[in-house]
Structure 1
C-alpha cells in the first residue's frame, strides 16, 4: 500500500514528494534548493513519520535536485532529527554526494558539552557578593594607581622622571590651544544664559546693573572652572583613556615595561602635567568669555552703559573668588587627568574595552568634578571665604 504526502513543483522551485510503501518512507527531492527560493514545509514529513504503523526506514531520492546550498543541508538535517526522534533508520546515500558526506560528518562529530549558550540567573546573595568583590578589587586597583602616580611625582621633583619632553609640549598644545574653540563657545553661552536668567528677575525692580554682579561672581568663582573641567573631561579625559587603552591592546605598555621604563612616568605623568598647567589658564579664559556673554546681554539688550557694566563687574567681584576659581580648576585638572589615565591603563585588550574605558573616563571625570566642587564649596563656607 502506498501513501502520498506530496507537493507539486512549480518551475524549478524546491519540491518534496513523500511516499510510504512497505515501511519505507521515501523523500523525492527536486528543483533548486537555495536560500532565495521558498522551501516546502516540514509538516508533511512529521505527519508521515507519525503514521501508524510507523515507517521502518527513511530514504532520500535527490536525482532531480539541480542546485543546493547550506540551507538545503539545514533542511535535510532537520528531517534527520525528526526521524531519529521516532527511532526511524535513515539512509542518506540518495542525496547529492557532497551533501551526504557533510551530513555524515556532522553526525559523527558530537556537540561539545557546554558550547551552547545558556542563560543563568545568579542568586541574590551571589550577585551581591560579586558586586562586593568587584568593588573591593576596584579600590585596590585605584590605590595601586595612586601609589604609582605619587612615586612618579616624587621622581619628577627629584628630577629623575623619565618621559619625552617633546611629547609633553605636544600634550600641552592639545590640552590648551586646541581646546580654545569649544571652551570659548560654551563659556560665552553660559554667560549669556546667566545674564538672561538674572535679567528676568532684576528687570522687575529696575536693578539690571546687578546682572554684571551675578555673571561675574558665578563665572569667576565656580562656573568657569566647572564648565571648563566638564569640557576637558569629555574631550581630553576620554582621549587619554582611548590612547592608553589602544596602547594596552597593541601591547605597547608591555613593551615599555620590558625595556625597563615606568609606564606611569612615561605616559601618565606628562598628561597630568599638561592638564594641570592648562586647565587653570583655560579657566581664566572661560571666565573672560562668560563675562563677555553677560556684557553682550547687558549692553545690547538691557541697554546698560558699557563702561558702567565693566566698572561694576570689577568692583563687585572680590579677588578671593578669582583664587577660589583657580583652586577649583587645578584640582579638576588633576582629577580629569587621573580619571582618563586610570581607565586607559586598566583597559582590557579589545576594541570594546577601549570604548568602555573612554566612556568610563568621562563619567568618572565628571563625577569627580561634582564631588570636588561640593567639598571645596563646603570648605570655603567653613573658613568664611
Structure 2
C-alpha cells in the first residue's frame, strides 16, 4: 500500500456558483500518493454544494490546473456524479482531463452485476434475524420447488418422455464412476488399515488378533465403506455438479434451455442424478473390498495371521444383511449428493463469487445430509432388527 507523499502539493477542488450553475475548479496532482485536500477544497465541499438550496441547475468542471491523475480522481468524481444524478443536477464533463470523461461514461454504462461485490454493512440485530428468517423461508420454497421438478422429471423418465442427452449420461457415468476409482481406492485402503491397526492394539492384549478381520469386515461392509465413498463423492462429484451448473447459470445457458422449451431439470439434473445413483453402489462395493484388503495387509504382515484363515474368518463373520445395508446407504447417499450439488448449482447467482459459494454450499450440504441420513438409517435398522 502506497503512503501519501507529504512533500508533494495537495489536490484542490474549488467550488464557485454563477447564474444557478456550479463550477468545480480542479487543480494539483489527483494521485493516490498525494496528501488529502483541505476540507474547504475537497470533493466533500462540492457534495454539500449540490445539496444546497436552491439547487443548482448545472455542474461544470475546469481542470486546466490538474498536473496528474489516477483512480483517486475517478473515485471522487463518481461520487460527485452520483450525487448530481440523485439531486437532478445536469453534469457537463467536457472540462475534465482527457480520458477521464470516457472512463466515467464507460463506468456508468456498465452497471455492477448483482452479487459481484461484497458489502460489509452493520445491521441491527432484529433486522439480521428477520433477514435470516426470510432467507430460510425462501430457501425452503426453492427446495420444495426443486424437489417437485425432480419428481416430475423422474415420472417422465419412467414413462420414457424425459428429454436429455444419452451421450452426456455416459460421460457423467464415467466421471462419477471410473474417474473416481483412484481416490476411492486410496481412501478406502487407508481406512481399512486404520481400523485394523486400532483393533489390533486392543485385541493383541487378549490374543484375539484373528478378530481384526471381523472388525474391519463388519465396519467397512455395513457403513464405513458407504460413508467414506459418500464423503469422497460429495467433495469431488457433488462440488463439480454445483460448479458446472453454477457456471451455466452465470453464462445464461440455463435460461437459453428454458427459452428453447427444454426443462433444465430433465436436461441437466436428471442425468447427473442417474449417473451418481448408478455408480454409488458399485463404488461402495469396491470401497468395501479395498477396506478389507487394508485390514488383510495389517493382519497378515503385522499380526502374522494366515491369509486363508483371515479371509475365511471375514467371510463367516460378515452376514449378508450387512452388505445390503451398505448398498442401501450408498444409494441414499448418491441421491442426496446429486440433489445437493444440482440444487446449489441451479440456485446459483450470476457472478463468479456466487459460483464459489454454491460449490462450498453443495459440499457442506452433502456431508451434512450424509451424516443425518446415516443416523436415520441406523435407527431404522435397529428398529427393524437388522
Same-fold call, TM > 0.5? yes
Q: Does 1:206 align with 2:207?
A: yes
Structure 2 residue 30 is matched with structure 1 residue 70: yes
Q: 1:77: Cα distance to partner?
A: 3.6
Report 1:256-271 matches (<5 A). Answer: 256-271=257-272
Query: Any unmatched runs of 5+ in structure 1?
Result: 1-34, 44-59, 63-67, 86-94
1:283 is displaced (CA, Å) by 0.1
Unaligned runs of 5+ in 2: 11-25, 46-61, 87-117
- Post-superposition offset of 1:227: 0.2
| Local SS of the residue matching 1:99 | strand
Q: Which has the higher Rg, Structure 1 or Structure 2?
A: 1
Match of 1:234 in 2: 235
SS at 1:112's partner residue? helix
Shift of 1:133: 1.0
Spell out, residue by residue over 1:32-76, the C-alpha distance to the aligned partner (whole angstroms, 9 max, x if none): xxx899442889xxxxxxxxxxxxxxxx9x9xxxxx853299548
- What does residue 7 of structure 2 align with? 40
- Deviation for aligned residue 1:166: 0.5
Match of 1:112 among 70, 82, 86: 82
Query: What residue number does 2:361 align with?
Result: 360
* Aligned residue number for residue 137 of structure 2: 136
Query: What is the alpha-carbon distance in structure 2 between the residues aligned to residue 298 and residue 108 of structure 1?
Result: 72
RMSD value over aligned CA atoms? 3.3
Give the total of aligned pairs: 319
| C-alpha distance in 2 between matches for 1:37 and 1:121 | 29
SS at match of 2:82: coil
Q: What is the CA deviation profile of residues 217-253 of structure 1, one whole-angstrom value per residue up to 9, with x for unaligned ones?
A: 0000000000000000000000000000000011100
CA distance in 2 between counterparts of 1:359 and 1:119 reads 21
What is the aligned partner in structure 1 of residue 64 from structure 2?
Answer: 97
Cα displacement (A) at 1:273: 0.3
The match for 1:30 is none
Query: Alpha-carbon deviation of 1:119?
Result: 6.6
Alpha carbons 1:202, 1:208 under 8 Å: kept: yes
Q: Which runs of 4 or more aligned residues in structure 1 lie more than 6 Å from their structure 2 counterparts after TM superposition?
A: 100-103, 106-109
Measure, in 2, the Cα distance between the counterparts of 1:354 and 1:314.
Answer: 47
Alignment deviations for residues 303-327 of structure 1 (CA, whole Å, 9 cap, x no partner): 0000000000000000000000000
- Do the aligned partners of residues 206 and 342 (structure 1) sit closer, same or farther apart at CA in structure 2, a change above 3 Å counting? same
Mapped to 1, the partners of 2:237 and 2:126 lie a distance apart of: 39
Mark the CA change 1:216 to 1:146 in structure 2 (over 3 Å): closer, same or farther. same
Given the superposition, is the C-alpha separation of residues 191 and 41 from structure 1 closer, same or farther in structure 2, using an over 3 Å criterion? same
d(CA) in 2 for partners of 1:199, 1:111: 75
- Equivalent positions of 1:46-65 (< 5 A) are none
> Does 1:81 find its partner at 2:41?
yes
- Preserved contact between residue 73 and residue 99 of structure 1 (Cα < 8 Å): no
Cα distance change of structure 1 residues 76 and 348 upon mapping to structure 2, 3 Å threshold: closer
Instruction: Measure the CA separation in 2 of the matches of 1:284 and 1:118.
Output: 47
